[in-house]
Amino acid sequence: MNKSETRLIDDNGLRVDGRKLDELRPIKMEVGMLEKADGSAYIEQGKNRVIAAVYGPREAHPKHIALPDRAVIKCRYHMAPFSVEERKSPAPSRRELELSKVIREALEASIVSELYPRTSIDIFIEVLQSDGGSRCAGINAASLALADAGVPLREIVAACAATKIDGKIALDPSDIEDKQGEADLPVAFTPKSNAVTLIQMDGSLTEEEFNQALDMAIGACRKINEMQIEALKRKYVAVKEQAEESREATA
């Protein structure tokens, strides 16, 4: 990671995009906008545009991967070729393969997979535009898609990263902060069970700074978790209204 080239915090303590140190980027979530998938969700977190879909529980394919006592969870995190400044080859990179694994593990911690032995639950995450923290946005969207598919979850998994810019711990790094910052700490968390289901870090932090960054990321996950629940409720209110309308129409 490069040393800061431009200043990331101005004299008023505000960041490049005008945020305070502990402020999230604007988040927009939408649930169930794909027709064919069993569950789907779309999220905008800053300039991140991420779509997630879930198929299953369905027959495991190939059959030999099926497990006798639980569902197999499959996960693919993938970036669209046009999602970054220079075109990215559509072939999965080593980074994408690693992220697919840690995202699967982050979600798997919350899925009640023992209810569906011998089946497979498949999670697809497509990053349409990346703006720093796309794995977190991907997790946020994927847990909504899982809930939308009716997959039993212990809790909705929320994720957010913390960073260190110009020597200060800050929340939810954008692209430039991610590239020029001194550390990146993505965290996935479920509030009620106080469970960290994903944590990665690179950069340089003292133990004290790390603890501060972890607190900040967990605090943000709590907020995002509430937004996710609201987004799910919005969808079901819409479904209910639709049902009532059609009942009135037939009456």
Positions in the binding site for other proteins (CB under 8 A): 1, 65, 67, 70-76, 94-95, 97-98, 100-105, 108-109, 113, 120, 122, 185, 190, 193-207, 210-211, 214-215, 218
Nearer to other proteins, 76 or 88 (CB): 76
CB of 137 to other proteins, least distance (A): 18
State in angstroms the smallest separation of the CB of 14 from other proteins: 27
Q: Which residue, 206 or 250, is less far from other proteins as judged by CB?
A: 206
Query: Which residue, 16 or 210, has its beta carbon nearer to other proteins?
Result: 210
CA distance 105 to 239: 31
Say if residues 46 and 26 touch (Cβ distance below 8 Å).
yes
Q: Report whether 66 contacts 113 (CB < 8 A).
A: no
Residue 192 or 247: the one with the smaller Cβ distance to other proteins is 192
Provide the CB-side half-sphere exposure for 102 (13 A, CA): 18
DSSP string, 30-43: EE---SSSSEEEEE
- What span, in angstroms and rounded, lies between the C-alpha atoms of 18 and 63? 52
Nearest approach in angstroms of CB 46 to other proteins is: 22
Residue 246 C-beta: closest distance to other proteins, Å: 39
- Closest to other proteins by CB, 193 vs 246, is 193
CA 148 to the chain's CA centroid: 15
* Residue closer to other proteins (CB basis): 70 or 234: 70
Burial of 24 (0-12, 13-18, 19+ CB in 10 A): middle
Measured from the CB of residue 174, what is the shortest distance to other proteins in angstroms? 18
Q: How far is the CB of 164 from other proteins (least distance, A)?
A: 11
CA distances from 109 to 70, 97, 106 (A): 13, 19, 6
